[in-house]
Amino acid sequence: MDELLGDFLTETAENLQTVDNEIVLFERDPGNRDVLNNIFRLVHTIKGTCGFLNLPRLERLAHAAETVLGKVRDGQAAVSPAVVSETLAAIDGIKVILAALETSGKEPAGDDEAQIARLNAAIAILETPKVELVPEPVIAAEPDAGAGRGIQSIRVSVALLEQLMTTVSELVLTRNELLQHLRTLKDDRLAVPLQRLSAQVGELQESVMRTRMQPISNAWSALPRLVRSLSVELGKPIELDMQGGETELDRQLLELIKDPLAHMVRNAADHGIETTEQRKAAGKDARGRIVLKAAQEGGHIVITLADDGSGIDVARLKAKAVALRLVTETDAAQLSALQAQRLVFHPGLSTAEQVTSVSGRGVGMDVVRANIEKIGGAIDIESTAGKGTQFTIRIPLTLAILPALIVASGGQRFAVPQMAVVELVRVGANSEHVVEYVNNAAVMRLRGRLLPLIHLGTLLGIGNGRGGGDYVLIARAGNISFGLIVDNIFDTEEVVVKPVAPILKTLSVYSGNAILGDGAVIMILDANGIAASLGIAGESDASDALETPVREVAQETDAMLLFRAGSPHPKAVPLSLVARLEEFDAAAVEWSEGRPVVQYRDALVPLLAVDGALTPRVEGRQPALIFDDGAAIVALMVDEVLDIVDTHVDICMTSDLPARIGTAVIAGRATEILDVAHYLSRAGSAGSIVAEDKGGRRVLIVDDSAFFRNMLKPLLASAGYRAMTAASADEALALRETGEHFDLILSDIEMPGLSGVDFARAVRGDDRWRETPLVALSSLAGEEHVRQGEAAGFDQYVAKFDRSRLLDAVARQLSGEAA
């Protein structure tokens, strides 16, 4: 393309952006001559240059716009919405022609006579009465930004900046090489200047990095125009207030938040702000207000978008969510206002009753949220009925630089983003942690739980199988944690992330690549991709803390150990209840009182069969699951361990067999869930087998997890209690209304809707259950939690998985002893 034409296009694109905003400003303040002069001058420049470059179609349209603006300027016409609308339409026409020019280098065919006629008509209406421009002096006319400041910036092409960045990167590498040589040479004459060079290169690198930053107002520039046209289209006067536009953000991110922001502004104008009549009726200013703010907070940019509209109608949103089967009616009733508001981020939920041309076209806040999460950000909502809605977006300052941990496997280095790394653990001979194997699946015990492990080398096909691997890097992907076994862990390094070549895009285990300080290229591992490739990811890829409760409920998963024993049908127990997996030599099986036993950790442990008929193998090795509740240890014989699956356990069928909780579908197959408590009760001498008669004391179990309810009920039953269950605090409180009475209540803490702590307050706040002992079941038993729970009225805290302590606590509370 002609260089002159190229320059013209760049300059005009910028000018037009300014014109858009100036016209909106002008409409609001028609007396402001400065603004009008600016607009006139810009359009005039476009027209003039067109003539020079021989672009007749563009020139004609610009000329028509200039004429209209000229008449307004000279007071021959007044500013009316029609004039502004048509001028903006003409500018749109100019943009279309410019876009064609940019791609083809020629003006597109056609003419703009219709637009020109409309432009002339817009002023014609007003020419007859000849309205004078309001002569009133403008009070404190907004000073023209930048006027009198002289030139503070120049235009540089992005390509040049990128090139500069590349050169600086190379310079850094060269410096590193020099420093390396210096270390071997030990020449003092070089040391000092090299030190200085090193510092200067560092500074240069930082400055060049900063050139990628741009004020966020660049992403906002189209918004005033958008609000103005929405205002006209919807017939609601709306004001857009933008603050903090100077906040700087990476150029790449800027592009990525543009569309989500425009979408949200559109939503606010359409759904958020009420009609003028409604506003007046509510005693509000007829003019709606949208406030957009940006500020830097640490390594993040926080953007808030607030409207002063009607707020979100929580009841209607809930009704819609129920209608769409996103939540059940009971769950919906339990949602707090804030949790319910977050439903707007669900696909298919848009609060407007009617689909308008402005929004409600099927692109919802779910897409906005997805886009923001894609760039490592988060979004939340806060709405007050009648007052308005505020969205808060947090995004990282830059996508480009990522702190990463460098690890090695199979002789190669890989980078893992620090964000995904939870913990590093050393394994092996001199460590308390060891890698154990279930069939071929590696696991590790960490703070009482089994953590699935993956050999990075095996995963990538570069390792030598089982051997090696001294370190476990515990990574989090969404709400799933897993350990990556690696050979070595090096330093952390800040790397500049570059996308992988399209040809490698199909490899989901990588999220990008980068050049290390020593010049080598390194692949960046993607924890989510690794989890997904292994099929251990949850039902959603969500990794944020802003999950709506609906998804939390849907995602509640338990790690289940699948195995075969006695029959070809798979059986399962919760992995958390399995203390160990052992293989006993068939020769080591002894018999005592007609029952098989093995020696295990200096004790005789009964070898139990899932069902009575199974006898231990007579040769080879006998695999077994070890259950240990602190008091009793049993070994349950299995034929084969199949897998560990993280899944949502939904008991479809309860069972009459004593050792079964019921049947659930796991990994697509009907799987019998065994009752571990049943087997533990068969341990040791006959004395503990028969449950004592506890006089049928009544215990209520409140837990949202069907799995735990089903687990605890038989446990308590086998200990001689009469147990009842409730799936939520509300359900439990409903039992109170029906006049039920219990001797003790066991309640979960983390529940959707009313939490365990709130539940305790409700129990203590009413005479009927005030004296009933309350025991909290929690996986979060931090001191702070315990204090909070006790303040709310809990008598004792017990960890969810600790069977013996649980029974002990129940017994103590019932006998009136303090814990």
Partner 1 sequence: MIPAKLVSVVLGGQLLGIDVAQVQDVIRLGAVSPVPLAPRWIAGVMNLRGRIVTAIDLRARFGLSPRQDRAGSMCVVVEHQGEPYGLIVDDVGDVIDVDPEQIEPNPPTLDRRWQQVSDGIVKLDVLMVLASVRAIMDADLAAAA
Residues of this chain that interact with partner 1 (CB under 8 A) are: 165-167, 169-170, 173, 410, 412-413, 460-462, 498, 500-504, 506-507, 509-510, 513-515, 519-523
Question: Which amino acid, residue 308?
Answer: D
Dist CA 755 CA 761 (whole Å)? 10
Q: How far is the CB of 499 from partner 1 (least distance, A)?
A: 9
Q: Which is nearer to partner 1, 260 or 469 (CB)?
A: 469
Q: How far is the CB of 251 from partner 1 (least distance, A)?
A: 18
Nearer to partner 1, 401 or 799 (CB): 401
User: What are the angstrom distances between the C-alpha of 624 and each of 515, 599, 632, 635, 636?
Assistant: 49, 13, 16, 6, 5
* Cβ proximity to partner 1, 158 vs 504, nearer residue: 504
Supply the minimum distance, in Å, between the C-beta of residue 412 and partner 1.
6
CA dist., res. 144 & res. 18, Å (int):
12
Q: Which is nearer to partner 1, 460 or 712 (CB)?
A: 460
- Give the nearest distance from C-beta 643 to partner 1 in angstroms: 22
Residues 615/596, Cβ–Cβ less than 8 Å: yes
Structure tokens belonging to residue 553? 């409920």
Amino acid at 206: E
Residue type, 594: G
The angle at the Cα of 435, spanning 434 to 436, to the nearest 5 degrees, equals: 110
Query: For residues 484 and 454, is the Cβ–Cβ distance under 8 A?
Result: yes
d(CA 452, CA 440): 11
Indicate the length of the chain as a whole number. Answer: 819
State in Å, rounded, how far the first CA of the chain is from the last one. 84
The H or E element spanning position 333 is helix 329-334
Output the smallest distance, CB 5 to partner 1, in A: 24
Instruction: Tell me the C-alpha distance between 62 and 48, whole Å.
Output: 9
Q: Are strands 488-496 and 480-486 parallel, antiparallel or unpaired?
A: unpaired
> Considering beta carbons, is residue 174 or 599 the nearer one to partner 1?
174
Q: Name the residue nearer to partner 1 (CB basis): 456 or 638.
A: 456
**3 state SS of 783:** helix
Q: How far apart are CA 5 and CA 15, in angstroms?
A: 15
Q: Which residues lie across from 408 on neighbouring strands?
A: 413, 488
- Angstrom distance (rounded) from CA 712 to CA 802: 11
Instruction: Provide, rounded to whole angstroms, the least separation between the CB of residue 529 and partner 1.
Output: 11
CB of residue 495 vs partner 1: minimum separation in angstroms?
A: 11
Q: How far is the CB of 413 from partner 1 (least distance, A)?
A: 8
Distance from chain centroid for Cα 379: 8
Given the complex with partner 1, which of 462 and 670 has the nearer CB atom? 462
Determine the Cα–Cα distance for residues 248 and 321; give it in Å rounded to an integer: 38
What is the closest distance, in whole angstroms, from the C-beta atom of residue 437 to partner 1 in the complex? 23
Tokens coding 271? 């759904």
CB of 496 to partner 1, least distance (A): 9
Q: How far is the CB of 457 from partner 1 (least distance, A)?
A: 9
Beta bridge partners of 449: 446
Backbone angles phi, psi at 658, to 5 degrees: -65, -30
Residue with the two structure tokens 């992907």 = 477
| CB closer to partner 1 out of 178 and 814 | 178
Q: Which DSSP symbol is given to 517?
A: T
> How far is residue 685's CA from residue 93's CA, in Å, rounded to a whole number?
91
Given the complex with partner 1, which of 500 and 781 has the nearer CB atom?
500
Question: What is the enclosing helix (H) or strand (E) of 503?
Answer: none
CA gyration radius for the chain?
35
Q: How far is the CB of 462 from partner 1 (least distance, A)?
A: 5
Closer residue to partner 1, CB minimum distance, 473 or 775: 473
68 versus 509: smaller Cβ distance to partner 1: 509
The least distance separating partner 1 from the CB of residue 700, rounded to whole angstroms, comes to: 52
Minimum CB–partner distance for residue 484 and partner 1 (Å)? 13
Least distance to partner 1 from the beta carbon of 214, Å?
22
- Contact (CB, 8 A) for 307 and 389: yes
CB 775 within 8 A of CB 795: yes
Q: Which is nearer to partner 1, 37 or 412 (CB)?
A: 412
Amino acid at site 252: Q
CB 700 within 8 A of CB 744: yes
CB distance 173 to 213 below 8 Å: no
* Shortest CB 208 distance to partner 1, Å: 12
Nearer to partner 1, 430 or 506 (CB): 506
- The separation between CA 202 and the C-alpha centre of its own chain, rounded to angstroms, equals 34
Tell me whether residue 461 or residue 594 sits nearer to partner 1 (CB atom): 461
Nearer Cβ to partner 1, position 499 or 630?
499
- Smallest separation, CB 206 to partner 1 (Å): 17
The nearer residue to partner 1, 392 or 412, going by C-beta atoms, is: 412
Q: Encoding tokens for residue 665?
A: 């579908």
Q: What are phi and psi of 342, to 5 degrees?
A: -70, -10
Nearer to partner 1, 431 or 508 (CB): 508
φ, ψ for residue 438, nearest 5 deg: -110, 110
124 CB-contact burial (10 Å; exposed 0-12 / middle 13-18 / buried 19+): exposed
Hunting for tokens 């938040």 — which residue is that? 257
Structure tokens at 675: 């009752």
